[in-house]
Each structure stands twice: as C-alpha cells, then as structure tokens.
Amino acid sequence: MTDDQETTDTEDTTPSGSATLPPLRPPCERLSCHKSSVCSRSYFVVVMVFFHVYIINVIALLFYVHYSSGQEDASRSRDAQSSGHQRPESGPPPSKTEFLRDVSLTRIEGIRVGHVQKVSLVPGRVHEMRTLSLKPLLFEIPDFLSEDECRVVMQLAQLKGLMESQLMVQDGQEELAKELNLSPEEIFNLLDINQDGQLQLHEILTHSRVRDGIWLTPENLREIYAGLKADKDGNGLLSLEEFRLLSNDAFQRFLMQRGVKRSQLVRNSRHTWLYQGKGAHQVLQDIKARVTRLTRLPPYLVDLSEPLQVVRYEEGGHYHAHHDSGPVYPETACTHTRLAANTSTPFETSCRYITVLFYLNSVEGGGETAFPVADNRTYDEVSLIQNDVDLLDTRRNCNKSNLKVKPTKGTAVFWYNYLSDGRGWVGEQDEYALHGGCVVTHGTKWVANKWINIDPDYQRQARYQQLVSQQPGDEDDEGLTLNLDTHSSDIHQDL
Ligand code: OGA
Ligand code: CA
Ligand code: FE2
C-alpha cells in the first residue's frame, strides 16, 4: 500500500520536474499543482490514520465481544481471588454456589498489656476489660457472671452429669510402627533433631510427648530406659543401636504394665455440654447474649457455635498445655463445617476462633490457667523442652509460664486462637495461644468454655450457615446436634 502511494506520488511530480519549461499557466493552476503534491502527502497521512483507527476499532470490538461473554466468569474469579482461592479464568464454572464475602469480623484491640477498656454488656452496668497479653490477644473481665449465674451453671452441669474428659487408655492399641509404616532408622532420623546420631530426652519428648493420651515426662523416659535396659551405657542418650533394641510400642507396653494413673494423662477432669438455644435455662441464654456483646461478632456465629462446656477438676486435676484449635492447612477440615464441606479431607480439627473461659468458682489452691509463651518474643516449639523442663507440663512447670490467670468466681477471660487474615476474616493459628490448666492443689475447680466456631475457609463457613439455616428449628446451636459426638470427645489439639 505504501508502495502504491509512492508510485502515485512520483507520477504526480514528474511533470513539474521536467527540464523543458512548461507553457505558462495561470497562477492558480500552478498553485494547484504544488498543492496536489502537498495533498498527496496529507492523503497518505489521512489514509494511515484511518487505517490505524480501523485496526484499533477491530481490536476494541474483539475485546468487547470477549468481555461481554466472559463477564460472569470474570466476576466469579474476582470473588474467588478475594477469598484467597485461585481459579483460572478459562477453567470450568464453579459447580457450587460461591459466596461473596460480606462480613468483616470485629477484632477487639488490645492496645497494650494492662490497658483497661469499659464495656457495656448488661443494661445499666459497665464492665472493665483488661488486656492480659497481645500474643495471644487475651482479655480478662471480672464479674462477667454473677454468683447466682455461676451456681446455676454448676448445678445444671451436675444435673446433666459429667463424664471423664479423657478415657483411660486401652491396652492392645495398634502398634505405632505399623500405623506409621516407618523403619526404626527412619523414626530415629526423624527424632534426631540436631542430627548428632544420639537421641536426647527432649528430642524424644518434643515429638512424642503424648502416647495414646499418656503424658511422658523426662523421668518417665529414664524409668522406661532403665526398665527396658535400653540405655546400655547409661548416659541418658540413645544411639541408633540402643533405639533399635526397643520395639516400637515398648513405651506404651511398659507404661501399661506399670499401670497408668489419671494424673499421667494429658487431661484429668470431667465435663459436660449445656445447650444455650431456645428453651434452654434463661441463665444459659443470657450468657450467650453477653458473649455476643463481648466479642462483637454477628449473633448467628455465636448461635451456631458449640454448646457451653462445663468442666470440673478435682484436687489433683490438671490439663497440660494445648491449643483449643488446630492449625490451618488446605487439607484440614473443621469439625463444625465438615458435613457441609462436601469433601472428604484426611484431617479434621476444631476451629475455635475465640475461647471464652469462665471461672465458676474461686479455687483454694492452684488451678490457674497458664499461657506458657504469652507475649514471648519468639515461638520455638523445640525450646519448649529444655534441660528436662517441659513448659507444657502444667503439673510441674506452671511457675515458669509467662502468664498465669488465677481462677476467680465470675471472671471471664477470652482470647483469639487465630490471627486475622488482614481482610476481616480468620487467618493463621496463633501459636502463642498455647494454654493449660495448672494442677489443682486444694479444693475443686469449675470452669466453663464458650467456643466460637468459625471456619478459616470463608466459603465453607458460608455453605455451612446456608445449610443450617435451611433446616427446621434453625437459629441456634440445635443445628449442631449432628456434630456433638465429636465435640463431646476431646478434640483439643495437643502438641
Ligand atoms: C480447656 C482449658 C483451662 C483451665 O478447658 O480447654 O484450657 O484453666 N482449660 O481449666
Ligand atoms: Ca540428637
Ligand atoms: Fe483449652
């Protein structure tokens, strides 16, 4: 095309470029001749511009057609991205309803340790809420429950009947080695954290502190070594050869033969569950409403959470440090949304965004709630056991915990077991939320737990809410009856 244009241009200029003088023409004609060469250039420019505009129009049209047909997909993918899931635009359309995130969870600000804020929980009264730690975000509210309310909750729990929080271990469990399908060498290598070819006591305990619900202490281990003549050179370390001599369930069998006491379990208490929905005792409904005001979360999230758990520790009772909630992995499902999730996931954990713990009595001796690593500068699982001191052991080492809360009748403490995802939803598990109940040295201890269940996966939570709201007799925790079997067993996450 450009070539054509040039040719035309050349032809036009030839006459004016001739050597012979042309006959005189009127000035206007000369002008037009001169003009025509200028005109051909502008013609070229006009054609070029037109051509480019044409191309741009075609491209714009193609874009328009593509966009209008893919609009639905695009808006879906925007939503999926905002909920942290990646969906390729060219992929198949989602088969299930995707929910737009229209909720932002309130998270109460701690400001600084010791900060006191006034909160309005009951008409005509003001409560004080003190920040106890920032990692985890933890608060204390004295007189959250009245004396009468504490009494009613304990009586209702007794009427219902409490059961052992942890059953005694049964003999003849499946061998660990068979379950794991690992050779002694492989297990040895996994446990040998510093890879020095020896197993130090803390290396064994960090990864196998709990064997079938039995809490192992460094002394237990030494006793087991001696009983099984495992540590031949008696240096407290196991070489691979010494380790190989132990069968994989040697620890369990040894403990069984010696007999296991309740105090050797992870948890030594009794508990029961009290429903707080419509028709429940007014005190239970009032407590639920107050928790909703305290946490400033949407009421339906509190309504759809687990019932109130009431726990009683006898003298000597304890609960070693644990997390109330599990870590967030893609392959982990939450117990409360599992049925609605419509997927089979290999792991299941309780997803308890918030724990509200009520002290129903003042304990005569011990029984504090310990937060071993609260506001620690760093969190390092391995350093939780050092020099035979296991910070998770609440029978022995509560005095070494960073924070201890003394049980006082009517006081509530509450904390977040998860961080925020920064966009108004539940984020990662907060490792600093590790806590336990110190051994009760005098008297009994009564506490209640109100857990607020939220799935870190927004879509799963939304689907669960939709499913429950479709069931007759919805609106409160009765919708959770299906899940209660798992709730009533101990589903706390132990390290
Ligand atoms: C619990 C718990 C602490 C306590 O029941 O999950 O951590 O002080 N209790 O009893
Ligand atoms: Ca080692
Ligand atoms: Fe707990």
Chain centroid offset of residue 223 CA: 38
Asked if residue 446 has its Cβ within 6 Å of ligand 1, the reply is no
Evaluate whether 356 touches 291 at the Cβ level (below 8 Å): yes
Q: What's residue 473's pLDDT?
A: 56
Alpha carbons 180 and 86: distance in angstroms, whole number: 33
Residue of the CA atom closest to atom 9 of ligand 1: 437
The predicted model scores a pTM of 0.76
| 313 Cα nearest atom in ligand 1 | 10
- Read off the tokens for 259: 């007999």
CB atoms inside a 10 Å sphere around CB 18? 9
Q: Rounded to 5 degrees, what are φ and ψ at 250?
A: -60, -40
203 CA from centroid of ligand 2 (Å): 7
202 CA from centroid of ligand 2 (Å): 9
Residue of the CA atom closest to atom 6 of ligand 1: 324
Residue-wise burial string across 441-475, b where 16 or more C-beta atoms lie within 10 A, e elsewhere: eeeebbbbbbbbbbbbbbbbbbbbbebbeeeeebe
Residue to mutate (ligand 1; options 271, 319, 409; most atoms within 8 A of CB): 319
DSSP element (H, E) containing 393: none
Q: What's residue 329's pLDDT?
A: 86
Q: What's residue 12's pLDDT?
A: 35
Q: What's residue 43's pLDDT?
A: 62
Residues 6+ apart with CB under 8 A from 385: 202, 205, 206, 209, 391, 392
Asked if residue 317 has its Cβ within 6 Å of ligand 1, the reply is no
Asked if residue 359 has its Cβ within 6 Å of ligand 1, the reply is no
Q: What's residue 246's pLDDT?
A: 79
Alpha carbons 218 and 271: distance in angstroms, whole number: 29
Alpha carbons 313 and 442: distance in angstroms, whole number: 11
Q: What's residue 483's pLDDT?
A: 40
Q: How far is CA 394 from CA 251, 338, 369, 385, in A?
A: 22, 32, 9, 13
Which ligand approaches the C-alpha of residue 370 most closely? 1
Residue carrying the six token digits 């109130």: 308
Asked if residue 415 has its Cβ within 6 Å of ligand 1, the reply is no
Cis omega (within 30 of 0) on the bond before 136?
yes
Asked if residue 391 has its Cβ within 6 Å of ligand 1, the reply is no
Residue 417 burial class via C-beta count within 10 angstroms: exposed 0-12, middle 13-18, buried 19 and up: buried
Asked if residue 449 has its Cβ within 6 Å of ligand 1, the reply is yes
Evaluate whether 453 touches 351 at the Cβ level (below 8 Å): yes
Q: What's residue 160's pLDDT?
A: 97
Asked if residue 437 has its Cβ within 6 Å of ligand 1, the reply is yes
DSSP reduced 3-state for 355:
strand
Asked if residue 320 has its Cβ within 6 Å of ligand 1, the reply is no
DSSP element (H, E) containing 299: helix 299-303
Evaluate whether 157 touches 272 at the Cβ level (below 8 Å): yes
Evaluate whether 180 touches 136 at the Cβ level (below 8 Å): no
Residue carrying the six token digits 């509190």: 302
Alpha carbons 494 and 180: distance in angstroms, whole number: 19
DSSP element (H, E) containing 156: helix 147-160
- Read off the tokens for 230: 């495992």
200 CA from centroid of ligand 2 (Å): 5
Strands 403-405 and 369-371: antiparallel
Q: What's residue 167's pLDDT?
A: 83
269 CA from centroid of ligand 3 (Å): 12
DSSP state, 139? Answer: E
Q: What's residue 44's pLDDT?
A: 60
Distant-in-sequence contacts of 3-6, Cβ < 8 A, 24+ apart: 5/40, 5/43, 5/44, 5/47
Alpha carbons 299 and 103: distance in angstroms, whole number: 12
Per-residue pLDDT of the chain (495 residues; tens, 9 = 90+): 333 333 333 333 333 333 333 333 433 333 343 444 444 667 666 666 666 766 666 566 555 545 544 343 333 333 333 333 333 334 444 455 688 888 899 999 999 999 999 999 999 999 999 999 999 999 999 999 999 999 999 999 999 999 999 887 655 555 666 667 788 888 899 999 999 999 999 999 988 888 778 899 998 888 888 888 888 888 889 999 988 887 767 777 777 777 888 999 999 999 999 999 999 999 999 999 999 999 999 999 999 999 999 999 999 999 999 999 999 888 889 999 988 877 777 788 999 999 999 999 999 999 999 999 999 999 988 889 988 899 999 999 999 999 999 999 999 999 999 999 999 999 999 999 999 999 999 999 999 999 999 999 999 999 999 999 887 654 454 444 334 333 333 333 333
196 CA from centroid of ligand 3 (Å): 36
